């Protein structure tokens, strides 16, 4: 009986062990499945604002103009007017397109001198590299007592922020409610920097994409390759001569 009882007890113990193992396996599988549903993606901070997205720089078409007050000398136009036309032509060759407009006063004391300077303006534009056609038009003079300029203009690309800076749609120091008590940059942050970048860029097209690469210097490349083959340093050697400050005035 004791043997039988012992056998029953032994069988009962092995049954409990198998059930415990199955329960442990079931719990392990459940935990693995539960882990598959956990979102482990790192979320970006909510207070990060990219000024390039909030204050984007846009390329727009805009008319660039210069007002001339030409006077005649022995060589045609005076030196100041020629320098203004040269600067105008340089900007046109870099960013301008289409015809050049020359708008002259229709009446008044300055109409005669403006008409006399037209051929000189054409000549200076051609001399400075402007190959576009020149369209001449006139505008009425409202006050004959004021000097009436000759305006030259062209259409060009310009980089500018898409909206006006200085906008404050929300209150930074609101005390009546807590809707703006969020640790985020204020709306106008970065607008001035974007405006300055747009104003300082030499060619607005540089903001849209890089320029084409220039051809490689074949002679410089072959010199460097030859030095590497000869086991020499391919770097350029610059000779410097240190001078004593005390001996410069002697």
pLDDT along the chain (250 residues), means of 10: 44 64 67 53 58 90 92 78 94 91 89 89 93 93 89 93 86 69 81 92 88 87 92 82 64
Residue 211 lies in a domain: no
Q: How many domains does the chain have?
A: 1
Determine contact, residues 184/49, Cβ cutoff 8 Å. Answer: yes
Residue 74 lies in a domain: yes
Residue 41 lies in a domain: no
Residue 21 lies in a domain: no
Residue 89 lies in a domain: yes
Residue 86 lies in a domain: yes
Instruction: Encode the chain in three state secondary structure.
Output: CHHHHHHHHHHHHHHHHHHHHHHHHHHHHHHHHHHHCCCCCCCCCCCCCCHHHHCCEEEEEEEEEEEECCCEECCEECHHHHHHHHHHHHHHHHHEEEEEEEEEECCCCCHHHHHHCHHHHHHHHHHCCCCCCEEEEEECCCCCCCCCCEEEEEEEEEEEECCCCCCCCCCCCCCCCCCCCCCCCCCCCCHHHHHHHHHHCCCHHHHCCCCCCCCCCHHHHHHHHHHHHCCCCCCCCCCCCCCCHHHCCC
Tokens of 49: 């604002």
> Domain residues for 76?
60-160
Residue 103 lies in a domain: yes
Task: Annotate 91-109 with b (16+ C-beta within 10 A) or e (fewer).
Answer: ebeebbeeebbbbbbeebe
Total-model pTM: 0.57
Residue 49 lies in a domain: no
CATH number at 125 reads 3.30.1330.60
């Amino acid at each position: 009986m004791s043997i039988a009882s012992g056998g029953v007890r032994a069988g009962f113990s092995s049954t409990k062990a198998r059930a415990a193992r199955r329960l442990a396996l079931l719990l392990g599988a459940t935990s693995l499945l539960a882990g598959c549903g956990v979102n482990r993606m790192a979320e970006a901070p909510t207070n990060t604002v990219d000024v390039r997205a909030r204050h984007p720089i846009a390329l727009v078409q805009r008319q660039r103009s210069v007002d001339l007050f030409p006077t005649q000398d022995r060589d045609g136009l005076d030196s100041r007017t020629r320098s203004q036309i040269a600067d105008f032509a340089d900007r046109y060759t870099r960013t301008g397109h289409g015809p050049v407009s020359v708008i002259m006063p229709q009446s008044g004391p300055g109409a005669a001198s403006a008409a006399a300077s037209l051929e000189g303006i054409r000549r200076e534009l051609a001399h400075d590299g402007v190959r576009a056609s020149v369209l001449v038009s006139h505008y009425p003079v409202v006050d004959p007592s004021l000097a009436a300029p000759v305006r030259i203009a062209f259409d060009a690309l310009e980089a500018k922020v898409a909206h006006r800076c200085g906008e404050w749609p929300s209150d930074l120091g609101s005390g009546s409610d807590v809707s703006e008590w969020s640790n985020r940059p204020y709306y106008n942050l970065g607008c001035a920097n974007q405006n300055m970048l747009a104003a300082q860029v030499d060619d607005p097209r540089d903001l849209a994409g890089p320029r084409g690469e220039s051809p490689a210097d074949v002679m410089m490349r072959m010199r460097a390759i030859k030095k590497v083959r000869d086991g020499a340093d391919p770097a350029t050697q610059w000779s410097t001569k240190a001078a004593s400050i005390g001996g410069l005035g002697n």
